[in-house]
């Protein structure tokens, strides 16, 4: 009888320990985006391209690429309400306007690609007052917290960068994988 009680207690303890370990895990999948996949997206698409969005536990992470060309005029102000962006400049240079107050911005429609896929609730346009300009170039990192205006006041030919989008409110589409990434993985 005592042996059965100890066996039962051991089983209950083992189940409790297993449940405790499982409960501590918030997610089971790591995300990898290879250089080959990034190159394929850069060759096959243009503009701001969200390559993947992954569940990182209590938040989502989006990995994107962007190439901007010189247009001869400053870009419109943009503010993402809930998503922080981190840029790593991989080629080119430009002058980034950060912060300040934006006068007369326009709220983007909830069904726009920027809101649905790229950066969640966003305003664009208007004029920036009291912003800070920073020259950025290949090798630089830029961290733009949610709610901070950012735009390029000038681009020296072109600028290309990788973005990490930190989404604490989970407004980005968890599990998104760009078609080109999917095709590259299938090869």
SS (H, E, C) 119-156: HCCEEECCEEECCEEEEEECCCEEEECCCCCEEEEEEE
Instruction: Provide Rg for the chain, Cα atoms.
Output: 22
- 162 pLDDT exceeds 60? yes
pLDDT higher at 20 or 33: 33
Q: How do residues 91-130 score in pLDDT, each as one tens digit?
A: 999 999 999 988 889 998 999 988 888 898 888 988 788 8
Number of Cβ atoms within 10 Å of the Cβ of 83: 25
The per-residue pLDDT for 22 is: 42
Please answer whether residues 117 and 165 qualify as being in contact, where contact means their C-beta atoms are separated by less than 8 angstroms: no
The per-residue pLDDT for 24 is: 44
Number of Cβ atoms within 10 Å of the Cβ of 103: 11
The per-residue pLDDT for 67 is: 93
How far apart are alpha carbons 61 and 56 in whole angstroms? 6
Q: Give the Å distances, CA to CA, from 4 to 7, 11, 29.
A: 5, 10, 39
The per-residue pLDDT for 17 is: 41
Q: How do residues 25-61 score in pLDDT, each as one tens digit?
A: 455 578 889 999 999 999 998 889 999 999 998 999 9
Domain 29-186 has CATH 2.60.120.10: yes
How buried is residue 59: exposed, middle or buried, by Cβ count under 10 Å (0-12/13-18/19+)?
Answer: middle
The token duo for 171 is: 């407004």
Mean predicted lDDT score pLDDT of the chain: 85
Please answer whether residues 108 and 115 qualify as being in contact, where contact means their C-beta atoms are separated by less than 8 angstroms: yes
The per-residue pLDDT for 81 is: 94
pLDDT higher at 185 or 9: 185
């Amino acid at each position: 009888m005592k042996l059965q009680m100890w066996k039962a207690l051991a089983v209950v303890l083992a189940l409790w320990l297993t449940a405790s370990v499982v409960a501590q895990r918030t997610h089971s999948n790591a995300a990898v985006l290879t250089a080959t996949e990034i190159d394929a997206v850069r060759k096959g698409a243009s503009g701001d391209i969200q390559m993947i969005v992954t569940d990182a536990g209590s938040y989502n992470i989006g990995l994107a690429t962007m190439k901007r060309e010189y247009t001869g005029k400053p870009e419109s102000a943009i503010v993402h309400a809930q998503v922080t962006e981190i840029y790593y400049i991989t080629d080119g240079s430009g002058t980034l306007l950060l912060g300040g107050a934006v006068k007369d911005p326009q709220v983007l429609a909830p069904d726009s690609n920027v809101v649905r896929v790229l950066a969640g609730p966003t305003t664009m346009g208007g004029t920036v007052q009291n912003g800070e300009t920073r020259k950025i170039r290949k090798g630089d990192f830029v961290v733009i917290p949610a709610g901070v205006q950012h735009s390029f006041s000038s681009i020296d030919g072109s600028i290309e960068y990788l973005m990490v989008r930190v989404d604490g409110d989970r407004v980005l589409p968890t599990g998104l994988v760009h078609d080109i990434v999917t095709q590259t993985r299938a090869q």
